[in-house]
Structure 1
Amino acid sequence: MKIPEPVGPVDPMDPVVRTVSGAVRGRTEDGLAVFRGIPFAQPPVGDARFGAPRRVRPWDGVRDACAFGPPPPQDLGVAGTVGPPDVPEGDDWLTVNVWTPAPDPAAHRPVMVWIHGGSYKLGHSGSPAYDARRIAADGDLVVVTLNYRLGMEGFAHIEGAPANRGLLDQVAALVWVQDNIAAFGGDPGRVTVFGESAGAGSVAALLAMPRAQGLFGRAVAQSVPGTFFSADLARDLGAALAAELGLRPTVDDLAAVDPGQLLKAGQTLGPKMPGRIDRWGRAAPTLTPYAPVVDGEFLPVTPWRALRAGAARGVDLVVGHNRDETRLFTALAGKLGEIGEERASAALRLYAPGGEAAYRAAFPEASANDLYERVQTDWLFAMPSLHLAEAHLAGGGRAHVYELTWPAPAQGGALGACHALDVPLLFGTFREGLALLQFEGAEPSAEALALSSRFRSSWTAFARTGDPGWPAYDTVRRLVQVLDTESTVAPYPQETSRRLWEGYDFAPLPLLAPGPEA
């Protein structure tokens, strides 16, 4: 295998680590050894397109690892905030990045592996929002971030291809960690996976996947989405996506199509989805035709059912959500605080487990806008996260639960504790990604910096010891960590919602009626 030319001058003092595939040269930055763009699998192109990830081919010599690998094909994101506009190009999408205090094989430091979010269709590990240096330095541990296939490449149903290819990429990256992280100073026996939004959905899926068993011992899931597709729904969505290109949803039809053309299928179909609620049900308004598929093989059942059956009882779990998750989406749509009765009633009819009347009775003083946000926050993130903890307890595991209630400072706090606010707080990256909206580019306040430090200390303590600093959740006291200016341990704050959703089964989203493409 040919070694890429080094980017910039080579310093003889730069750290070099030998992986099982070959040696890599990183850089020393702010007291850390940093390695970027290390391949953990072969590029999934050519005859590897739409296949399970293949082990990377070994190389001779020393491979330069100072630049992030190219991101997988993806949507542009939200107003260009997901990543830098000058990302590298190429098809070597499946790479990892490592931050370590010292690549000393005798160090045996805890390892944290980050899985980014982005609706399963956008995002990449090279985004400045995921600069992991503060986590590695503050926690004195090793941090790994990774890319995985997105959109049609990673999650669409394609006949002749394995399901959940993006999840299989994540498993392959975790296998790479097991094989190589000791050389970077990490302990392969103390691996914590952590992720947010679609990354948290991925963490939940990994807890349920037989192929991922034994690859990590702790997990942090931040805002778990409840959207997992049934095989029938995924098949119908795959047919609709291919139909946007005038093709069949098969490897034979799609393997020769440029990835950029496949992106257009999702970008065209997404805006049409809300008009097909009678066909795709609750999946339609999400605007994304991608999610993990309960395929019966790689993901046999939903995470909630798997954990309830004890599939991950030996894995310690931290799981939680933000109080005002969906306010981010109403803000991005330009509808912040403007939702009226008609849209609120439609949302309540679609999502509320006890129907519209039950939610209105439970929140008698809530405005139409508040009810719209509350029921969607509950359905999409809050209750899936809480139910994951309760399922883990039922299966014999231990879980710690949190809720972020600190409001984003933008627009005088109008965004509330919105979706993805936990990302800049955890990474300390206040001027990157969605933080540009949440913090309006301003310098973080003293309370923001203090809460950011609290996030990192709790997450890294959990990775180190299994204890994030607050009591484990139980179904009697229901104590959770409330993260705010003054963080407290208190009974779960959304008790009204919890009661409304008690006993609800987050089953795979069904196909209500097949479309003509099928």
Structure 2
Amino acid sequence: MSLTHRSDAGERLLVYTASGPVRGIAAGGIHRFLGIPYAAAPVGMHRFGPPARAPEWVTEFDASTPGPTAPQVPYPGALGRLLPSVRVPGDGYLNLNICVPAEPGKYLRPVLVFFHGGGLTRGSNAIEGYDGGAFARDGLIFVAPNYRLGAEGFGVLDGAPLNRGLADQLAALDWVARNIRAFGGDPARVTVVGHSAGGNTVAALLAHQRAASLIQRAIIQSAPLNALPSNQSARATHAIAHDLGIDTTRPAFSEVPAADILAAQTRVAPGGGPLSRAPGFSLSIGLPLIPRSPDEALEHVAGGGIDLLIGTTSEEARLWLVPTGLADRVDRLALALARHRLHIPAETLRLFRSNRPGASNGEVLGAVFTEQLLRIPAHRLADARLANGGSTYVYEFGWPSPVQRLGAAHAVELGFVFDHLGGADAVALVGPDAPQALADAMHGAWVSFATTGNPGWRPWDAMRPVKTFDGAGNSVIQSPRESERLALLRGDHG
């Protein structure tokens, strides 16, 4: 569902940016400026190239409706019903939305920049659940950029720079640095937030040499922290090229309409999701943006001066396993094969099973995936930052959604973070009766961190404190499920 807003009494606002004047709308005590170009449309000579500066304009830019979205295909089946896509046609999809408090501040306000998730293939700032009105209500300047997705943004092509979607995000941050004062924001107090694949790109941004000049704080939600060598990340590009019968070069791909590339992408990787064996897109290790994997760079001081809030949900993998029915189709043989493929000792799997009485084989496997892919890397990074003097806060979202047995699955926390539980996107994931008190706590922690650098609990230390957002006390727990983490780590070294 897309963002739709009514203007209170027809009031419209005019702000002058470095590119030209933009006219937004006022509604419900929030001023919104939607679809502002931060870079040139990535078509024609700019397609598969680095982002180019947006052309300037003289007449007022109408920023009252969402701008175009990056080319994408909705998730299929059950995932599509839980994670809806919004597609707004048009070439100028390198745009951003801004939400501003209606009342002018005495001082410049802190800025929160949100990069959406979607497996580097889906998502946009036009999704209803990503409206930053609640952040603006609580005194922040909220910015949500789009960036190139799929082959357009992350395909590995001869003659094209790697990680073009990440370059788009840097261009958006450059735009914020140049223009956010005009909206009442402080360019020296920028917090970047990324969820899922967006969190993966935030990790790469933190490791970038320009991070300290653009970012003061960062929040990484439920995200992998790595990048792959380009010969591995090129699998999806090669599969698409083979399907289309073309070479993996910039000229060859530039001859193919975006819709045809998307159709080929759907044929070679129809499902989506991190547990799929089909080729997917990932960040690529390579100059100039990612000289080494972000997790390695961040564990060796890079980004250490930037405050970090990082965490996961308790049951990330349930999003892909339970609504699709995959969890119920994993028998003991499939579980054993997965155990061997992941190099997990049998006694470790027995530990996970004993900690989850009554869980199916698929649910046990999902718990292992959650630990290996997301939670262990997040805690390893917190440990490294502690050793290097970095300030890190760790959380875990544990409230179990009753919808389709999702539990505390990937993306369930988003409605709480955005304090938008009444929106259709949130209701699809958490139902109509999710606890508002939990949204108050979680959203409030994000606001506090962006404002002060402290979300409300003590930073990571030798006791490994984790703030649990479970709706039943939201307590801080020392080293939750430590036995499982240590068992997997012993398996990795064994």
Q: Output the TM-score relative to the length of structure 1.
A: 0.87
Counterpart position of 1:228: 227
Post-superposition offset of 1:360: 2.4
Post-superposition offset of 1:369: 3.1
Q: 1:37 to 1:11 in 2, by over 3 A?
A: farther
Match of 1:58 among 51, 56, 59: 56
Post-superposition offset of 1:90: 0.6
Q: CA contact under 8 A between 2:7 and 2:27: conserved in structure 1?
A: no
Counterpart position of 1:251: 250
**Residue type matched to 1:396 in 2?**
G
Counterpart position of 1:509: none
Aligned pair 1:293/2:280, yes or no? Answer: no
Structure 1: distance between partners of 2:53 and 2:383: 37
- Any stretches of 5+ residues in structure 2 without a counterpart? none
After TM superposition, the structure 1 stretch with the greater mean CA deviation from structure 2, 172-181 or 95-104, is: 95-104
Q: CA contact under 8 A between 1:307 and 1:395: conserved in structure 2?
A: no
Aligned pair 1:121/2:121, yes or no? Answer: yes
Structure 2: distance between partners of 1:318 and 1:504: 28
After TM superposition, the structure 1 stretch with the greater mean CA deviation from structure 2, 208-217 or 39-48, is: 208-217
Structure 2: distance between partners of 1:273 and 1:458: 31
Post-superposition offset of 1:51: 0.6
Structure 1: distance between partners of 2:255 and 2:485: 48
**Residue type matched to 1:269 in 2?**
V
Counterparts of 1:90-169 in structure 2, within 5 Å, are 90-102=90-102, 104=104, 107-137=107-137, 139-169=138-168
Post-superposition offset of 1:390: 2.2
Structure 2: distance between partners of 1:240 and 1:360: 34
Match of 1:302 among 293, 301, 322: 293
Q: 1:361 to 1:79 in 2, by over 3 A?
A: closer
Q: CA contact under 8 A between 2:212 and 2:305: conserved in structure 1?
A: no
Match of 2:324 among 310, 327, 333: 333
Match of 1:422 among 413, 417, 427: 413
Q: 1:324 to 1:243 in 2, by over 3 A?
A: same
Match of 1:480 among 449, 466, 470: 466
Counterpart position of 2:370: 377
**Residue type matched to 2:80 in 1?**
A
Structure 2: distance between partners of 1:82 and 1:145: 18
Structure 2: distance between partners of 1:284 and 1:132: 30
Q: 1:284 to 1:504 in 2, by over 3 A?
A: same
Q: Deviations over 1:302-333 (max 9, x none)?
A: 22211121111110000000001101111232
After TM superposition, the structure 1 stretch with the greater mean CA deviation from structure 2, 117-126 or 128-137, is: 128-137
Structure 2: distance between partners of 1:227 and 1:212: 17
Aligned pair 1:194/2:193, yes or no? Answer: yes
- Any stretches of 5+ residues in structure 1 without a counterpart? 1-6, 275-282, 507-518
Post-superposition offset of 1:148: 0.4
Counterpart position of 1:29: 27
Structure 2: distance between partners of 1:471 and 1:409: 31
Q: 1:260 to 1:432 in 2, by over 3 A?
A: farther
Structure 1: distance between partners of 2:166 and 2:198: 10
Counterpart position of 1:360: 349
Q: CA contact under 8 A between 1:345 and 1:356: conserved in structure 2?
A: no
Q: 1:80 to 1:211 in 2, by over 3 A?
A: farther
Counterpart position of 1:177: 176
Post-superposition offset of 1:210: 2.0
Structure 2: distance between partners of 1:245 and 1:15: 47
Q: Relative contact order (C-alpha < 8 Å, sep 6+): which is higher? A: 1
Structure 2: distance between partners of 1:59 and 1:10: 27
> What's the Cα RMSD here?
2.6
Structure 1: distance between partners of 2:297 and 2:389: 12
Q: CA contact under 8 A between 1:192 and 1:217: conserved in structure 2?
A: yes
Post-superposition offset of 1:385: 2.2
Identity %: 35
SS in 1 for 2:269: helix
Q: Output the TM-score relative to the length of structure 2.
A: 0.91
Counterpart position of 1:408: 401
Aligned pair 1:42/2:28, yes or no? Answer: no
Counterpart position of 2:70: 72
SS in 2 for 1:210: coil
Q: Deviations over 1:48-97 (max 9, x none)?
A: 00011011111102111011111100121232554465x43110010011
